[in-house]
Amino acid sequence: MPVTYWAEHLWLEDRVVPGVALDVADGRVAAVRRDVPAPPPGAEVLRGFTLPGTANAHSHAFHRALRGHVQAGSGDFWTWRDQMYRVADRLTPDTYHALARAVYAEMALAGITCVGEFHYLHHAPGGRPYDDPNAMGQALVAAAAEAGVRITLLDTCYLSAGFGQPPTRPQLRFSDGTAEAWAERADALTQDATTRVGAAVHSVRAVPADQLETVARWAEERRAPLHVHLSEQPAENAACRDAHGRTPTRLLADHGVLGPRTVAVHATHLTGEDVAALGGAATGVCMCPTTERDLADGIGPAVALQDAGSPLSLGSDSHAVIDLFEEARAMELDERLRTRRRGHWSAARLLHAATAAGHAALGWPEAGRIAVGAPADLTTVALDTVRTAGPPPSLAAETAVHAASAADVRHTVVAGRYVVRDGVHTAVPDPAAALASAIAAVTGPA
């Protein structure tokens, strides 16, 4: 049914435009009418600053159960990983669906309209396939649909504990045995209006070099996005050099993994040659600043990557927080700390990373913008909260990026329909209670 949304202030062509009516039909923008100073009769009113829905380009939904738990004590990425494995071992298709539904509802409340789920938890404990080999992936797809967000299921190939090492017991759930078996299982996944399917190489340590091309070819044949964790830890780089005499980036390049539909996640510890190789291949990079700082991973060379030709997107990864505005400003603020200089990206460029670039990274190039024919996916940020009040509306982009939080999202619209209205999720009655229940089911006593 056609509907008109009236935006008090709209992010349009990289500037704030007051008084814009958006006519929506069949889930897409049918018309953009400027100079509409008051809501037309019957229009849905979006008070505040409306921008394209944001895209969370890197998610591990079950990691949300670790929030709070892994912040107690100290350690590093590897000690964090041990706790992650314990949660993974307790998930079933039903408990994963309940947890992911609540997590995706939290994302919608944060203004996220599309998520890229980096999915490697495929099988039952011990590695036995479920009767439906894609039961866990289907649980994620159903959870996203029920929470009202789009999803790109990045089905992940994960075969090894390390270079030449078989999977450990916790990793048996992740492994299909070979890349060919992974591809056969992934072939059974289907797409619909709100679901797209992509591929992922978990990392160079988890997919043997002689099987990387199988995954890359699968994605190429389907013109699907291909994501890969890259150089998140110096230990990964050192192990790759020991095993192959080259960096992980060079190994991926040599096996045909890099390219414009590929996204490297983290890309924290790179050489100058790595940066040039990624940029020269137009390989995207997804930065996940809140996770990278939570795990003490380091600060990646985002400015150098962008300058070299790599499009930048953003993800909340382990969900230490779920807030794309925080991810956007953290990318800038981390770079300020590293260089002791301000202003590496404008608010417009950071919003681009959170919207259009994120959607493109997930295989939705038509989304993440407000234009005729684009999906009617919108996020409205309130400009009258204690965090956002004060600046003039002309500075709404700067306010959103540098001051707002997920708590300031007033409305979220996906395909022309409210998913969040006045801060309330329209389909998940109590997301906080749903999160508490789902997390208790996988972290409580055995």
Which string of b and e fits 272-281 if b means at least 16 CB within 10 Å?
Answer: eebbbbbbeb
317 is catalytic: yes
Q: Which position has the token pair 């150089």?
A: 231
Please tell me the pTM assigned to this model: 0.97
How does residue 445 score in pLDDT terms, banded at 50, 70 and 90? low
One-character DSSP codes across 10-57: EEETTEEEEEEEEEEETTEEEEEE----SPPTTPEEEEEEEEEPEEEE
Q: What is the mean pLDDT of residues 99-111?
A: 98
pLDDT in tens, 161-199: 999 899 999 999 999 999 999 999 999 999 999 999 999
Q: What is the dihedral of CA 217, 218, 223, 229, to 10 degrees?
A: -90
Helices (H), 223-323: 234-244, 248-254, 272-280, 289-294, 302-308
- Non-local (6+) Cβ contacts of 187 within 8 A are none
Average pLDDT on 46-74 reads 92
Whether 52 contacts 12, CB under 8 Å: no
Residue from 97, 122, 266, 269 carrying the catalytic annotation:
266
143 vs 94, 104, 212, CA distance in Å?
10, 7, 30
Among 176, 317, 323, 334, the one annotated catalytic: 317
CB 116 within 8 A of CB 361: yes
Q: Which amino acid is residue 405, in one-letter code?
A: S
pLDDT reading at 78 higher than 70: no
pLDDT in tens, 131-169: 999 999 999 999 999 999 999 999 999 999 999 899 999
Euclidean distance between CA atoms 323 and 334, whole angstroms: 16
- Checking if the pLDDT of 76 tops 80, the result is no
Active site residue 244: no
